[in-house]
Chain A
Amino acid sequence: MKPPSKTTTPQTNTENAPEPRDGESGWYLYGVTLRQTASEVITNQAMDTGEPLLVLEQGKLAAIVRPVRLAEFSAEALQARAQDLVWLEAMVREQNQIVARVHEAGAVLPVKFGSIYSNSEALQAALAAIHDALLAQLQRLQDCDEWGVRLFANRQAMQRLAAEHPALQRHKDELAAASPGRAYLLKRKLADELAAITEEALSHLAQASYARLMRYAVAGQASPRPQKAADGADEREALHATFLVQRANVDGFLEEAQHLAVEQEGLRCAYSGPWPPYSFARLAGEETL
């Protein structure tokens, strides 16, 4: 019989696992997965990646961890290092690679960057406290990938979208019927309102596109504030969204994304994926953290 929780590697048994007890090392947590998935990942891990990944088991769950020196992650050290883009990029790329590897083997709940525990008991207690919720979340994410979709409109497309907007049509009708003096005032008013009308037209486009993509997705979330265009940029981001898509539906989803851009002149769609479900891992009620 296995003990309910233990640290495993292919080479070391529980007793020899480098359990950090000296107050100097801790566990860097990458993600939570099912025990079976974890053992698959650990068994297949390449031997040339520095410190090996380890598994801390708790009930049906397994945490993918790596021992780290706590001094490297002290508040002072991090404050200094957070400014160091090279270090930060290496860290996030490495973390993403590890999480992606687990994701390839099975469902994974990625954890927030920089989740470090001073000892295994603390981590296991944290897992035990919400064991069933984590398990249910893993089941929900089974066979799903995250996809990022961004839709851009160039200046011509924005002008066309604004022109099709009912508000602009009304302005035009008014303008056609106006006296020269009133037409002058109306033109100035229109110039003031054009930006707002364009924003509204873009937001309609985003909502419609999002709804179409959602038909192929389990869940989705759109960024409330798509990236503002840089000064002089020729295109605007209309939609910046992430979707949770079942693998069986990926082809349809990507085809739909492609259609969004092809159907209308001046639109461009960029997608990224398949990602581990970073944006959909949080448990209900945890959004504010």
Chain B
Amino acid sequence: MTAAIGARAVTVEDVFRREYGRCVATLIRFLGDIDAAEEAVQDAFTVATARWPSDGQPPNPGAWIVTTARNRAIDRLRRESVRDERHAQAHHLYGAAADAAGDSAVTPQEETVPDDRLRLIFTCCHPALNQPAQVALTLRLLGGLETPEIARAFMVPEATMAQRLVRAKRKIRNTRLPYRVPAAAELPARLKPVLAVLYLIFNEGYAATAGSLMRLDLCAEGIRLARVLAELMPGEPEAQGLLALFLLLHARSAARVAADGSLVQLAEQDRRLWDRTLTAEGQAIVRACVQGGRPGPYQIQAAISAVHSVAPTIDSTDWRAILTLYDQLYALTPTPVVALNRAVALAEVRGAAAGLAAVDELRCSALDTYYLFHASRADLLRRLGRTAEAAAAYATARALTANPVEQAFLDTRRADTIRTGKA
């Protein structure tokens, strides 16, 4: 379900995708309960589907949905008056601002406090929830995706994903997990899991490109959510950096996959296929981040992508700048994967032998099962003419990835290496 907003009329479905998160966020604050909020918003969209085609779409569809959902929820509460007490109790869960049955005079404008989605983001990505639950909740509640879509995207059975969501929502309710934006002092720690969840959503889509047609476009979803976060937190450079990183990576998607579905590495990509609008937007954010002077891991990764994006060819890439950025990134996040990427950049600045020495120095149990470690080693060995070792490293890498596109790529590389080696 891609929101193709062009010449044709904006459909209820388009409004659903665009407004669902905002509406649910507002209704959660109003009702103090996630399930009740989802139910009310679904009800309102059902009414919209029935009425809009004949009555026409209201000028502000999102506000219409919120008002209708709130009215439906109030009706429900009145009908089930026996349960009023219990709902009043549920209300306390989040210290929700509005009084459910009382203030029907609240206007839609007053209701859509811009912070609502931000509260929802922090609740979905609360550190008391495990990461798969955080991801599922974020896509369900903020992205408005249906459970089967999320299940397909993460290749888990639908029942498993449904259970995951039920459990997470139950934990939120039972533990009284608050519905609020963390105070400034807690913000850096609480922002981390939020950024990690969005990164995981985007990366799942990015790594799986062309892996399966059944998979939802998680890259687009990740960008959409990152955009919301960046808009809601204009003063958080890492939120901006994350959006810039996604835009710059996503700009390359058309060049990343060949006509036959095979993977094209950065070095071999036809850079004329890179999306200029996305690239320009990403570059502009990176420039603003650099001026802001509060660097962080996502901003630096975005800056690395930005350096690639200005090079018309792989040979004209400013590898020195990239190496410096990897040094900065490693200083902030000293992980083996960052060290590996740094070593690859080093090979471009000081030659394949220096790169290989740096890669071999990193050999550790964490990297030994990482296919890119062996793939990078293989590339460097090939460049040094050490054909047999290169072929062996490609084979090791291939055994470590489950993605058919990556497997095919490594098979081709290995075959090419052996052929040129013999010639």
Chain A partners chain B: no
